Structure 1
Amino acid sequence: MRLDLPGIDEESLEVTAENNTLTVRARRDVDAPKGAEFVMRERPVGTFNRQMVLGDGLDLERVSAQYRDGVLTASIPVAEHARPRRIPITRSGSDRKVIEAG
């Protein structure tokens, strides 16, 4: 998962995982001189949350996150029980008994 979060103070950034939900909380403060008036502002200020509901096949115990150059990247590995695996096949006929006439 990647989120563009330009202008976010790294100290205000919080990522939590609970009940198959990944939550990102952050705060962007005003970076202008006191008393300045804006004609236009492209980046909203204040606190915000983003939530993603995740599937059951992900391992929320091993989520990792990195914030660099205004981009938050979270890696969510697939749970071991959800990984594809090869199922062994028993071959029929391998227990055949041969009866010989004598």
Structure 2
Amino acid sequence: MAMTFDPFSELDRLASGLLQSRPGPRVMPVDLYRDADRYVLNADLPGVDPGSVDIDVDGQLLTIRAQRTAGEAAGAKWLTQERPSGSYLRQFSIGEGVDTAGISASYDNGVLSVVIPISERAKPRKIAVQSLSAEADAQKTLTS
């Protein structure tokens, strides 16, 4: 059985190894959408212990931190370790139109979901239009 050497896959493996071992926070891909009266943020955090997830709001800044520990196997000789470990960090400016006290979060199957409700004062509302001429006519009728 003949084996061929693919220099591109080897280069890709080396490059991803360099990127995985870089210092600093890891990438935390997110989806963010508005659903009626709330924003929903879903972040991919596979293999992260939910107890390591820390979410806080400081003014208008929402910060998500998480930690993923490296796999351990006592006495094992690693052949490859491609799954990233380390800290994750993302920050979002949430603006003034949200109810920061009502923010909630859940973690299921490697996905962190953060629900950010829109504040009552930021929701669209209808303004009643009053006719001043109709009021004046009603006043004349009452005084006559």
Q: Matches of residues 36-75 of structure 1 in structure 2 within 5 Å?
A: 36-41=77-82, 43-75=83-115
**Aligned-residue offset at 1:37:** 2.3
Q: Equivalents in 2 of 1:76, 1:55: separation in Å? A: 11
> Match of 2:48?
8
- Indicate the structure whose relative CO is greater, using CA pairs within 8 Å and at least 6 residues apart: 1
Q: Equivalents in 1 of 2:77, 2:94: separation in Å? A: 42
Q: Is the partner of 2:67 in helix, strand or coil?
A: strand
**Aligned-residue offset at 1:88:** 1.2
Q: Is the partner of 1:27 in helix, strand or coil?
A: strand
> Match of 1:79?
119
Q: Equivalents in 2 of 1:33, 1:49: separation in Å? A: 27
Q: Is the partner of 2:101 in helix, strand or coil?
A: helix
Q: Equivalents in 1 of 2:77, 2:68: separation in Å? A: 17
Aligned length: 97
Deviations 1:67-93 (A, max 9, x none): 011000000000111011111111131
**Aligned-residue offset at 1:31:** 1.6
Structure having the larger proportion of residues in helix: 2
**Aligned-residue offset at 1:59:** 0.9
Which runs of 5 or more residues in structure 2 are unaligned?
Answer: 1-40
Segments of 4+ moved more than 3 angstroms = none
**Aligned-residue offset at 1:21:** 1.1
Fraction of identical pairs, as percent: 34
Question: Which moves more between the two structures, 26-35 or 12-21?
Answer: 26-35
- Which residue type is aligned with residue 80 of structure 2? V
TM-score, with length taken from structure 1: 0.85
Q: Is the partner of 2:89 in helix, strand or coil?
A: strand
After superposition, the Cα gap between the structure-2 partners of 1:49 and 1:72, relative to the gap in structure 1 and judged at 3 Å, is: same
Q: Is the partner of 1:76 in helix, strand or coil?
A: strand
